């Protein structure tokens, strides 16, 4: 009898557990906050502003060198603001998953840096409107964004500010990472000819490969390889079509600068000619046959072997492979970059100005205990004092002032260049770029740059081969080969790739379809026999029409016009 009791009791217990775990979560449903309810309670907390508090920040970008506020700069910030920040990063998944889960559970940390998921969070009512509290408590934030402050508004219908973009305001590009790349040894063998058009580029590769069909260790040389097997097809195949035909990168659209009429950029006749040139490169055997099949690691392995003479890519995409070449001492096989166009009537528009486009940044959630305190914290980081602190570090420790100029001592600079990871973690420099800030090339009232990147700094990073090549072309950086930013009028809409489609809208679906078609048809056209090129390309354009691209173009034109109107207010 006793045994029976025991069995019954333990079974009951097991059941109870099952029910508890099953029902535990149902309490949260339906009690969704509307997002702005916290504001009313804020003013009550003001008196306690100096109290040290701990806040949570969920960041979509993993920062392996995050110092947990234990670094030198971190401690100063803690002291000045009384805020201790705990950062959370995506674990084992993508940042999109992390924020999707947050939305699903309806629980948020105080601060978020949601990257591409900002729209999702706003749609879910998770972010609070920062405009009123910035107006009241954020003079420095407002000052940094300056004339671009109205570009922070969310949309035509919603003038709230949900995200403080953390990209630098007034940023000057001192270096160019894109264009067409050629190995230094190819340039040297050709006697450093002018590389302006695709014909120049082709001739240099052709001359070299005829003389050197194999590398020193007997592997065949490859003329030009494109990273077209994965998503980088956009970087390595379609974006260069913009640049080579005198248009700036506006995502997948070409925007007429006067009328703002937008079309998918492959629909332009000029770009058809660019792809025809790639088709020609394939025909004469200079294009790597595997360009559209290879995986990213295969591509990197090829580049790292030093036998790919030319690339059309961005430096961040081939940097790993180039670092391997440098580590092996094969500097002749590293790359120089040129603004190459289809013919000399075009100019590379890579650096056509956009004004401040904002982009990813930081938002305060509805679960934050004290938004005013957080804005004051961000305002401190945006102040002149704060910006110098997060970019340069502590005076006397990480930099000295010599004749009114900020100078980084040699041993600090050495650690920064050679062991950047440890440097970031111990000093905290570059770990706190959270708030509004100025970009490279902007000077503070003392006449010094806010950031530590300026022309002299870039040349330090060049290898001897780079310097040799640059000297032959009479420039000091690759950037100098490109037309200056003020050579073209500023785009009134910023950059069109920052325009988001409404999630799940019809335009969004058509866009996805157009991308699928493009990724299949453009490689097909490039790999076709030259006689069939037009046939394939016409079929490609017809597929786009059938997928409803006309509707998409009309929608996008409207979005661009709305943006122009919104920003010119």
* Surface-to-core class of residue 394, CB atoms within 10 Å of its CB (0-12 exposed, 13-18 middle, 19+ buried): middle
d(Cα 309, Cα 292) in Å, to the nearest integer? 18
Comparison of 19 and 316: residue with beta carbon closer to other proteins: 19
- C-alpha 279: how far from its chain's center? 30
Beta carbon of residue 76, minimum distance to other proteins (angstroms, whole number): 40
CA distances from 395 to 54, 75, 189, 390, 445 (A): 27, 14, 49, 12, 17
Cβ-based neighbours of 289, under 8 Å, separated by 6 or more: 282, 527
Beta carbon of residue 27, minimum distance to other proteins (angstroms, whole number): 14
Beta carbon of residue 226, minimum distance to other proteins (angstroms, whole number): 12
Beta carbon of residue 120, minimum distance to other proteins (angstroms, whole number): 7
Beta carbon of residue 479, minimum distance to other proteins (angstroms, whole number): 32
Let me know: does 474 contact 480? Beta carbons within 8 Å.
no
Comparison of 37 and 41: residue with beta carbon closer to other proteins: 37
Comparison of 227 and 352: residue with beta carbon closer to other proteins: 227
d(Cα 459, Cα 268) in Å, to the nearest integer? 38
Beta carbon of residue 11, minimum distance to other proteins (angstroms, whole number): 5
Beta carbon of residue 452, minimum distance to other proteins (angstroms, whole number): 38
Beta carbon of residue 113, minimum distance to other proteins (angstroms, whole number): 20
User: Phi and psi dihedrals of 21, rounded to 5?
Assistant: -65, -30
Comparison of 178 and 228: residue with beta carbon closer to other proteins: 228
Comparison of 229 and 393: residue with beta carbon closer to other proteins: 229
Return the bridge partners of 84, or none.
Answer: 54
- What SS3 state is found at 46? helix
Cβ-based neighbours of 146, under 8 Å, separated by 6 or more: 169
Let me know: does 282 contact 526? Beta carbons within 8 Å.
yes
Comparison of 11 and 401: residue with beta carbon closer to other proteins: 11
Comparison of 34 and 569: residue with beta carbon closer to other proteins: 34
Beta carbon of residue 294, minimum distance to other proteins (angstroms, whole number): 8
d(Cα 100, Cα 82) in Å, to the nearest integer? 31
**In 214-268, where does DSSP find H-type helix?**
233, 239-244
Comparison of 522 and 560: residue with beta carbon closer to other proteins: 522
Beta carbon of residue 284, minimum distance to other proteins (angstroms, whole number): 16
Beta carbon of residue 312, minimum distance to other proteins (angstroms, whole number): 17
Q: What is the 8-class DSSP label of residue 156?
A: S
Comparison of 418 and 503: residue with beta carbon closer to other proteins: 503
d(Cα 129, Cα 383) in Å, to the nearest integer? 21
Comparison of 203 and 528: residue with beta carbon closer to other proteins: 528
- What SS3 state is found at 225? strand
Give buried/exposed letters for 463-481 (b at 16+ CB in 10 A, else e).
eebbebbbeebeeebbbeb
Q: Is the dihedral of CA 263, 266, 267, 271 positive or negative?
A: positive
d(Cα 285, Cα 282) in Å, to the nearest integer? 5
Comparison of 18 and 471: residue with beta carbon closer to other proteins: 18
Beta carbon of residue 519, minimum distance to other proteins (angstroms, whole number): 4
d(Cα 388, Cα 393) in Å, to the nearest integer? 7
d(Cα 311, Cα 315) in Å, to the nearest integer? 10
Beta carbon of residue 343, minimum distance to other proteins (angstroms, whole number): 28
Question: Six-digit token pair at 255?
Answer: 């925007």
Cβ-based neighbours of 477, under 8 Å, separated by 6 or more: 174, 175, 176, 455, 458, 459, 470
Comparison of 444 and 524: residue with beta carbon closer to other proteins: 524
Beta carbon of residue 556, minimum distance to other proteins (angstroms, whole number): 16
Beta carbon of residue 558, minimum distance to other proteins (angstroms, whole number): 20
Cβ-based neighbours of 439, under 8 Å, separated by 6 or more: 167, 168, 169, 170, 171, 172, 450, 451
Comparison of 124 and 325: residue with beta carbon closer to other proteins: 124
The terminus-to-terminus CA distance of the chain in angstroms comes to 85
Q: Footprint of other proteins on this chain (CB under 8 A)?
A: 7-8, 11, 14-15, 18, 22, 29-30, 32, 103-104, 120, 123-125, 219, 228-230, 233, 288-290, 292-295, 297-298, 302, 503-504, 508-509, 512-513, 516, 519-520, 523-524, 527
d(Cα 237, Cα 526) in Å, to the nearest integer? 10
d(Cα 139, Cα 135) in Å, to the nearest integer? 7
Comparison of 520 and 542: residue with beta carbon closer to other proteins: 520
Comparison of 230 and 315: residue with beta carbon closer to other proteins: 230
């Amino acid at each position: 009898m006793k045994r029976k009791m025991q069995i019954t009791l333990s079974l009951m217990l097991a059941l109870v557990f099952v029910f508890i775990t099953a029902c535990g979560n149902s309490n949260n449903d339906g009690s969704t906050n509307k997002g702005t309810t916290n504001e009313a309670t804020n003013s009550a907390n003001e008196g306690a502003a100096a109290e040290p508090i701990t806040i949570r920040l969920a960041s979509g970008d993993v920062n392996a060198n995050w110092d947990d506020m234990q670094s030198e700069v971190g401690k100063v910030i803690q002291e000045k603001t009384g805020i201790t920040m705990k950062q959370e990063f995506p674990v084992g998944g993508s940042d999109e998953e992390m924020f999707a889960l947050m939305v699903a559970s309806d629980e948020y940390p105080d601060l978020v840096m949601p990257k591409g998921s900002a729209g999702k969070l706003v749609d879910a009512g998770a972010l609070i409107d920062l405009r009123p509290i910035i107006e009241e408590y954020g003079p420095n934030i407002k000052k940094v964004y300056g004339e671009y402050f109205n570009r922070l508004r969310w949309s035509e219908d919603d003038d709230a500010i949900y995200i403080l973009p953390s990209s630098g305001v007034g940023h000057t590009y001192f270096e160019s990472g894109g264009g067409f790349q050629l190995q230094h040894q190819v340039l040297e063998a050709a006697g450093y000819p002018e590389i302006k058009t695709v014909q120049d580029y082709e001739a240099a590769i052709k001359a070299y490969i005829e003389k050197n069909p194999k590398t020193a260790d007997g592997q065949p040389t490859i003329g030009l390889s494109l990273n077209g097997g994965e998503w980088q097809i956009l970087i390595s195949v379609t974006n260069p079509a913009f640049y080579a035909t005198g248009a700036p990168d506006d995502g997948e659209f070409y925007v007429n600068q006067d009328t703002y009429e937008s079309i998918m950029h492959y629909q332009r006749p000029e770009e058809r000619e660019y792809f025809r040139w790639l088709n020609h490169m394939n025909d004469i055997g200079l294009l790597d046959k595997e360009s559209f099949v290879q995986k990213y690691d295969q591509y990197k392995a090829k580049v790292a072997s030093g036998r790919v003479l030319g690339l059309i890519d961005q430096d961040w995409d081939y940097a790993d492979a180039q670092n391997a070449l440098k580590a092996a001492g094969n500097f002749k096989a590293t790359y120089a970059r040129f603004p190459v166009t289809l013919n000399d009537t075009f100019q590379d528009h890579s650096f056509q100005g956009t004004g401040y486009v904002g982009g990813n940044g930081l938002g305060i959630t509805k679960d934050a205990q004290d938004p005013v305190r957080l804005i004051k914290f961000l305002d401190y980081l945006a102040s002149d004092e704060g910006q110098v602190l997060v970019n340069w570090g502590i005076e006397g420790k990480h930099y000295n002032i010599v004749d009114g100029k900020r100078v980084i001592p040699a041993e600090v600079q050495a650690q920064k260049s050679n062991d950047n990871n440890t440097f970031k973690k111990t000093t905290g420099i570059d770990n706190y770029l959270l708030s509004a800030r100025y970009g490279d090339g902007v000077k503070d009232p003392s006449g010094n740059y806010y950031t530590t990147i300026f022309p002299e700094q870039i040349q330090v990073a060049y290898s001897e081969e780079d310097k040799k090549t640059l000297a032959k072309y009479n420039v000091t950086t690759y950037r100098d080969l490109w037309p200056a930013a003020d050579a073209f009028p500023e785009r009134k809409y910023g950059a069109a790739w920052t325009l988001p489609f409404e999630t799940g809208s019809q335009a969004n679906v058509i866009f996805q379809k157009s991308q699928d078609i493009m990724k299949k048809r453009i490689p097909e056209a490039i790999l076709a026999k030259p006689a069939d090129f037009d046939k394939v390309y016409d079929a490609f354009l017809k597929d786009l029409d059938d997928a409803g691209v006309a509707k998409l173009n009309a929608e996008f034109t409207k979005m661009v016009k709305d943006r122009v109107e919104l920003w010119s207010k």
